[in-house]
A = this chain, B = another copy of it.
């Protein structure tokens, strides 16, 4: 069918996108692979609606993301356009900006019917009205696992092992887990002499340790008004941490003096030992921070030397559920950067191959006996091929080229034709 220019703008909304068949298939395979692994590790899928009450989404747990909510207009009698003073008069719902705030509400609402502890896996879209930029979309998929109701460091071991396995099954290679603990960071910041209420700001700068020179770190902290002596000690401490290597027990014993900090270090050593005993690659990183302010304990990331940014991240957040439920529930979670991984696999040549072959079964509309054609198609499907019946075009060469360009692996020329595979590069 020849197509004239469209009469209307046909783009998807700004910052959102249409997914073409090849990528849709890759994403399906990713989701299946991830869900299969997490199920094998005892996680159970849950789902919440895309929309939540606007009050839930704007209570402060979402940090900066709360400024990016797509808000939904009230409907029917609830909407009174004659008396609009603020946005609050107009909206009652919003699209979720993450899967963690909805998880907290879900747990509060359904805990009586849920397993205890709850090992949950969620995968689904979230929405943020961010300024569009390369690789960032206003609708994107998140994929989180969370363990609710387990205080022990063992929960972190399960999160890390399951997520490492999921990423390995996605054929990502050379993965390393880096781990730290917010309680250690707090203890070290105190040791350096930063005021407690400056810690969050100091950590944001520390997070750039791998990208900036020590002098640049110091300059940023100075601009933020931190004390010169604390800055100097901090640069010294983290330089020595990095120099001591693997398990910097000397630096820990010099800088971590609080009970909470010492306890955190014990936990970290146990987690590292357990993950290594299961052949996982994991290392302590004193300068790992992670963005969200709600973390309270171990924090972790997975990265690969092959890619610049991390591909999964998470941590313990023992105080977040309590803000919605009214009572604290220990909780820890790990999130795979689904869009990041999809983009890596799309770019990687030979990174992903469709598990089943796609075959075009050509037929002559006027000459082919239909019953016979359908039987042959069924036979090929039973042999694990995906079979599309395609009416023969007038130009055979052009049609075969088009089929190959569409990603077909091969074709049969009529129901009695032999299966032929395209090209050699396939």
Contacts and interface: CB of A to CB of B under 8 A. Distances in A.
Contacts of A75: 70, 129
The interface size bin for chain A is 35 or more
Interface string A59-99: 00000000000111101000101001111001101010000
A360 B25 CA distance: 33
Given A93-B13, A277-B370, A46 B72 contact: no
A35 to B, nearest CB: 7
B51 A1 contact: no
Interface in A166-193: none
Interface string A93-108: 1010000000001101
B11 A109 contact: yes
Contacts of A358: 42
Interface stretch (A110-118, A198-206, A228-236): A110-118
A172 B235 CA distance: 67
A32 interface: yes
Contacts of A274: 370-371, 374
A8 interface: yes
A52 B387 contact: no
Determine the main DSSP class of A at the interface with B.
mixed
A3 interface: yes
Interface stretch (A15-23, A217-225, A241-249, A282-290): A15-23
A51 B6 contact: no
Contact of A115 (B21, B325, B391): B21
Interface of A: 1-13, 16-21, 24-25, 27-28, 32, 35, 39-42, 44-53, 55-56, 70-73, 75, 79, 81, 84-87, 90-91, 93, 95, 105-106, 108-111, 113-116, 119-120, 125, 127, 129, 139, 149-150, 152, 154, 158, 161, 273-274, 277-278, 324-327, 329-330, 356, 358, 360, 365, 370-371, 374-375, 378, 381, 385-389, 391, 402, 406
